[in-house]
Amino acid sequence: MVKAIKPKDSKTRQNIPMITRETVIGDMMEKNPSRAAALAETMLRYGLHCVGCHANVFDTIENGARLHGMDDETIDKIIADLNTVLNENVKARQGISITEKAAAKIKELQEKDTKPDCFLRIDVQDGGCAGHTYDLAFDNQKKEGDIIVEDKNVKLVMSAESRKFLEGSIIDFVDTLQASGFKIDNPNVTRSCSCGESFG
Q: Model confidence over 147-184: pLDDT tens digits?
A: 999 999 999 999 988 888 888 888 988 887 666 788 88
pLDDT band at residue 70 using 50, 70 and 90 as cut-offs? very high
Share of the chain above pLDDT 70, in %: 72
Helix (H) or strand (E) segment spanning residue 31: helix 25-31
The distance from CA 65 to its chain's CA centroid, rounded to whole angstroms, is: 23
Q: For 99-124, what is the mean pLDDT?
A: 86
The distance from CA 145 to its chain's CA centroid, rounded to whole angstroms, is: 27
Domain assignment present for residue 149? The answer is yes
- Do 101 and 133 belong together in one domain? yes
Domain assignment present for residue 9? The answer is no
Query: Of the residues 52, 70, 86, which one is the last residue of a structural domain?
Result: 86
- Do 106 and 65 belong together in one domain? no
Q: Is the pLDDT of residue 75 over 90?
A: yes
CATH code of the domain covering residue 67:
1.10.3910.10
Q: What is the pTM of this model?
A: 0.54
Query: What distance in Å separates the CA atoms of residue 75 and residue 66, rounded to the nearest whole number?
Result: 8
Which residues form the domain of 104?
94-180
Domain assignment present for residue 194? The answer is no
Query: What distance in Å separates the CA atoms of residue 36 and residue 32, rounded to the nearest whole number?
Result: 6
Other Cβ atoms less than 10 A from the Cβ of 105: the count is 21
pLDDT band at residue 146 using 50, 70 and 90 as cut-offs? very high
- Do 70 and 119 belong together in one domain? no
Query: Of the residues 86, 113, 138, which one is the last residue of a structural domain?
Result: 86
Domain assignment present for residue 21? The answer is yes
Average pLDDT across the chain, whole number: 78
pLDDT band at residue 12 using 50, 70 and 90 as cut-offs? very low
Number of domains in the chain: 2
- Do 77 and 106 belong together in one domain? no
- Do 62 and 40 belong together in one domain? yes
Least confident of 23-32, 116-125, 126-135: 126-135
- Do 99 and 157 belong together in one domain? yes
Query: What distance in Å separates the CA atoms of residue 25 and residue 19, rounded to the nearest whole number?
Result: 10
CATH code of the domain covering residue 137:
2.60.300.12
Domain assignment present for residue 98? The answer is yes
